[in-house]
A and B are shown apart, each in its own frame.
Chain A
């Protein structure tokens, strides 16, 4: 480990050859959110020498923002619930575009993954019988989300973090991977820099698990943190893996709209799960006007039935506020466009008139806190103003359902940066369970691949390390080159966010998507003239310049796929093709980087065929 600080890597080993730090591991996990931590724990427990490499401090990853809960058919509140019902809800929520095998494994294994968290110290809210409590959420037939108030993500990440620390897994914090290193088509390691010092580090490892999260920071209004720059998506593309479903971006129906500085900040779906309703400026509970044919049989069509459902699920249907997120986000968008929005351009989300202040403070403590502190709104007394916010990308790295292996030997992907599990739209609560179920599977598969290699491990090539080093330092060089120094990474990022928001947002059309591709081309041009101030030590301008490469590449994938898919389904709504089409419903769009790295190639690929014993759930 050289002089590196045992936990944070705060010291550098300058004495290493060429000043470059090197580490050998069996499995390197990139990302320390729920998926990365769970994968690392599994790899470690399978006997692999494992390292976690993450951009932030341990315990700060975006999982911490998850509020509502972990979907798992444990049957603690409704004994009728089981994996088959959960599987069906998930597939229907994703409009049948999900990888059926992933959805099946997810539904089957989620309960045990939740109980495991409890073994490791998680303190979930309880039922009266002392079991883990489960709450209602959109698209789920039964109350199914294991939760801790509205801070479930924090509980999950802390539990996994404490587990990883107890197991003694090495963590490289504030360390960013910029390139994957390959030999003969297989993974040999990863190249990274320490944010603190700006110095480089090479990881030699035959297995790399990508768990880098999403892409939301390419959009202006988003619930995502700065880390969500599509790193894993871009690393995988550059390494030769494929992305699927990139056109499907989830806009969460309820983000804060005011004050401007917190616009996009998430307001948990639990508000609706616990009884909150949506109303427009005329006071109308408008969701009853937006029940799609597809969900008509399972959705209440009167206020009375909707309100009875919270207590009696057997004889009543779900309130329309709890339709899947894509449906609710589109409805809110329509209401605002029709001029029935609130003063700050949102819609009202009202729980104050529906539940007692005590209930609200107990069930939704961080929402209470968030509105009180940031917007001067007391949610026990008045309604919240909310609107759609970019929240999650369904698309990601194409992987094998059972092992999370990508097209590149040794490269695994899990969590938000992987694709297939959620189809065209993710149900709330299915993300946290996705992280756990597939995190464990990826960690085990990565460890066993490593064992299968024996002594025949690929060795990192010196010229690849040199090339990665050159690319990482490029932003400093640009400024001094011809035409350089005229652009600032912060401005380019802002313009990217604005253009993705305006042109590749919740409702899309051909002309706008074409314009977005043109804009992206111009932004790539500008990025070549970008200047970075200062030196390599903890320099956010440089970090952003490197992240921008990934954001621009992944944004192009989103826009390309969105232009290609001529239908509306889940998180992809085309104004010019308003309905779903059976033909499009049978295929995925697959994106790869052309061999010379210059362009993104797009192909159509049929969906994997669901076996008959699972098809019967949809008859």
Chain B
């Protein structure tokens, strides 16, 4: 069942690097991360790779396998022909630190720019009440394991480094949508999503949805509804007229601009 896998692994740092060739013994049921670990343990003790849970739950071992953004721990070797060379490179949208490890601090900066959840006071008995059907929309988005593969694949920043300051990326559109759909949140983040986060730059090519290891429908369920809500607020003539003549808009009930 075991065989020798031919691998090409990118080795290098900020100064540059190259693909290195490695032959490694692998066996049935193994994933790309197993092969990387074996290279590390037997051939290249200093091969840098980020990983934690090895179960698709923490989102640490993101890389590009044969050019495709993947979690190495969830990419099974049985998906490849044993004769095929498997090439592993670091995520391209982020600056490389060393080997397969990249500087993902862009994502942590964007997270800080996002106003947090702002609930009203609890009910009289000290608890809160929400319907299951209402929390499920947000729960889909909270499945996100922050692997940043959606950010990696998004061409708005992948191919245009200069867009980074003005663009939060799919992971954070997900977060805006989650808070916007939270049954109890009191902030209206629509202006912010469109302005500072650059939601308008997304042209819904769905690349992010395709690479999401959690199967979150980022484009259909988060980005498009969010875009619609931004547009409603800004361009819907009835909403505009309503706001001019002081008509009550239920969408603004209990919410204020963040």
Contacts and interface: CB of A to CB of B under 8 A. Distances in A.
A533 B42 CA distance: 12
B10 interface: no
Given A118-B128, A151-B143, A62 B53 contact: yes
B52 interface: yes
A198 to B, nearest CB: 10
Contact of B55 (A119, A130, A265, A488): A265
A65 B98 contact: no
Contact of A155 (B31, B74, B132, B142): B142
B188 interface: no
B251 to A, nearest CB: 20
A227 B49 contact: no
Contacts of B117: 120-121, 162
A262 B13 contact: no
Contacts of B68: none
For chain A, give the interface size range.
35 or more
A540 B146 contact: no
Interface string A152-175: 001100100011011000000100
A82 interface: no
A10 B142 contact: no
B126 interface: yes
SS of A interface (majority): loop
Given A123-B135, A538-B99, A540-B47, A225 B27 contact: no
A261 B47 contact: no
Interface stretch (B102-110, B149-157, B200-208, B237-245): B102-110
Contacts of B119: 119, 121
Given A123-B142, A154-B145, A532-B45, A60 B59 contact: yes
Contact of A488 (B45, B59, B131): B45
Contacts, number: 185
| Residue picked from B41, B57, B74, B117, most chain A C-beta under 10 Å | B57
A64 B129 contact: no
A452 interface: no
A130 B109 contact: no
B129 to A, nearest CB: 3
Interface string A38-77: 0000000000000000001111111011000000001010
Interface string A246-271: 00000000000011111001100000
B46 interface: yes
A132 B40 CA distance: 45
Contacts of B182: 121, 123
18 contacts: A8-B108, A56-B52, A64-B145, A119-B128, A121-B116, A121-B117, A129-B129, A131-B129, A155-B142, A163-B116, A165-B111, A259-B28, A259-B29, A262-B55, A374-B76, A490-B41, A533-B45, A535-B46
